[in-house]
Structure 1
């Protein structure tokens, strides 16, 4: 039981690092798309405000919430494997 708790704690730490990396990468890609869109199409108004508003919309998007699957899917797989092996 202690080994399982230790493993789950280690898995949580690793998944947190993965989550942060994926989240930062996804946000950087979205920022790049917004900046490129403004440069190619809009060019009117404040670029920073346009990017800020786009990132605020991104924060509310489904894609942002799906990144939380980094925690959920591995834990379900690990729990299923442990259940199958033990029972």
Structure 2
């Protein structure tokens, strides 16, 4: 039982690191795209407000929510593996 708890703790820490890195990378890519859009279209007004509004829209987007799959997919796979190895 101790081995399962250790696997859960280590797995959670590793998945959290992957999640944070992936979130930062995805947000950075979105920021770069917003900056490129501002520069290419020659918009007028406040550039920082445009980028912040775009990032606020990104925070509520489906792409942002799909990053949670970093937790869901591996945990589901481990649970399924444990179930099938022990009960089938």
TM superposition score normalised by structure 1: 0.97
Residue 50 of structure 1 corresponds to 50
Spell out, residue by residue over 1:24-83, the C-alpha distance to the aligned partner (whole angstroms, 9 max, x if none): 000000000000000000431111110000000000101101100100000000001111
What residue in structure 1 maps to residue 76 of structure 2?
A: 76
Aligned length in residues: 87
TM-score, L = length of structure 2: 0.96
* Off by >3 Å, runs of 4+ in structure 1: none
Gaps of 5+ in 1: none
Question: Any stretches of 5+ residues in structure 2 without a counterpart?
Answer: none
